C-alpha cells in the first residue's frame, strides 16, 4: 500500500548547523508531497509542499524537492535555529478528491544554542 | 487560508464515561473531514473519514461503535469516544480538505483516568 518512510530520530544539532531529514515514499500514481511541523502540545502546521516531479517546496528557509526517480522528498535547511526544534512529518496525498494524508512516523529535531 | 477549530483542547474524564470532540470548519464548507489519533512520540494514524450526510468510513482496526463520528453539517464533525478507558488516552486531531488544501485542528489531548 501507499506509505511514507522517514529517518528515525531524534536529530540533535547545534544552532546554525545544516539539517537533512530523509523521506521516501511508496505510492500508486503521482502523489502530492508535504512536510508538516508540530511544535510541542500543538497541532500540525504545513511547512511546505510539492505537487509534481522536480517541484521544490520552500518556506522559512526549509526546502524539499520532489524526486520521482528516487521517490524521495528530503527536507533541508542550511542553518537551523533553536526555534526550529519540533517534530517534522513527511506526508503524501493521492490525487483523488477526499483522500486523507498518509504520514511518516515523524522525526524529532532538537537544536541547542 | 482555511480555519479549523477543534474543541476542547484537552479533557480529563473517568473510565466508562463518554467524551465528545468537535471539529468546526469556520470559513468554508467541508464535505470531508478526517480524524487522526496520535500516540506519544508516534505518527498520526488515520481513524476515519467523515463525509457530510453519510456514514463515516473507518480504517481497519478502528472500532466504529467505540469511536462514533457524526458529520451532520458542512461545518461540523464530532468524534465521541464512548465508554472511555485509559488506553483511549491519546491526542486526537481533525483535518479538513478544502480550497486551501489540508488544514488541521489544534488537537485534543484526552486523558482517561
Nearest 5°: phi and psi at A33? -120, 145
DSSP for chain B? ---EEEE-SEEEE-TT--EEEEEEESSS--SEEEEEEE-TTS-EEEEEEEETTSPPEEPTT--TTTEEEEEEETTEEEEEE-S--GGG-EEEEEEEEETTEEEE---EEEEE-
Work out whether the CA dihedral B54, B101, B74, B106 comes out positive or negative.
positive
In Å, how far is B26's CA from the nearest CA of chain A?
17
- Render each residue's pLDDT in chain B as its tens digit; 113 residues: 678 999 999 999 999 999 999 999 998 888 889 999 998 777 889 999 998 888 899 999 999 999 999 988 889 999 999 999 999 999 999 999 877 788 899 999 999 99
Nearest-CA neighbor of B20 among B41, B38, B35?
B35
Select the residue from A32, A95, A101, A110 to test the B interface by mutation, using most B Cβ atoms within 10 A. A101
What is the reported pLDDT for A97?
67
| Residues in B touching A44 (Cβ below 8 Å) | 44, 93, 104
CB contact under 8 A, B104 and A104: no
The pLDDT of residue B1 is: 65
Nearest to B46 among A46, A100, A106 (CB): A100
Instruction: Report pLDDT for B89.
Output: 95
Strands B108-112 and B44-51: unpaired
Spell out which residues of chain A touch residue B32, defining contact as CB-CB under 8 Å: 97-98
Amino acid at each position: 500500500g501507499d506509505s511514507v518512510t522517514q529517518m528515525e530520530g531524534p536529530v540533535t544539532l547545534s544552532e546554525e548547523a545544516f539539517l537533512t531529514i530523509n523521506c521516501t515514499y511508496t505510492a500508486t500514481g503521482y502523489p502530492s508531497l508535504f512536510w508538516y511541523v508540530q511544535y510541542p502540545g500543538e497541532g500540525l502546521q504545513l511547512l511546505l509542499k510539492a505537487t509534481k516531479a522536480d517541484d521544490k517546496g520552500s518556506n522559512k528557509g526549509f526546502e524539499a524537492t520532489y524526486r520521482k526517480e528516487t521517490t524521495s522528498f528530503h527536507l533541508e535547511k542550511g542553518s537551523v535555529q533553536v526555534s526550529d526544534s519540533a517534530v517534522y512529518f513527511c506526508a503524501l496525498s493521492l490525487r483523488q478528491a477526499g483522500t486523507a494524508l498518509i504520514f511518516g512516523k515523524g522525526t524529532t529535531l532538537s537544536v541547542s544554542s | 487560508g482555511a480555519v479549523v477549530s477543534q474543541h476542547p483542547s484537552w479533557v480529563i474524564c473517568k473510565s466508562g464515561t463518554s467524551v465528545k470532540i468537535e471539529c468546526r470548519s469556520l470559513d468554508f464548507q467541508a464535505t470531508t473531514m478526517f480524524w487522526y489519533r496520535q500516540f506519544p512520540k508516534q505518527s498520526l494514524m488515520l481513524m476515519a473519514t467523515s463525509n457530510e450526510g453519510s456514514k463515516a468510513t473507518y480504517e481497519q482496526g478502528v472500532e466504529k461503535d467505540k469511536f462514533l463520528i457524526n458529520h451532520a453539517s458542512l461545518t461540523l464533525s464530532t468524534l465521541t469516544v464512548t465508554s472511555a478507558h485509559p488506553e483511549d488516552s491519546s491526542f486526537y486531531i481533525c483535518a479538513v480538505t478544502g480550497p486551501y488544501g489540508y488544514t488541521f485542528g489544534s488537537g485534543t489531548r484526552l486523558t482517561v483516568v
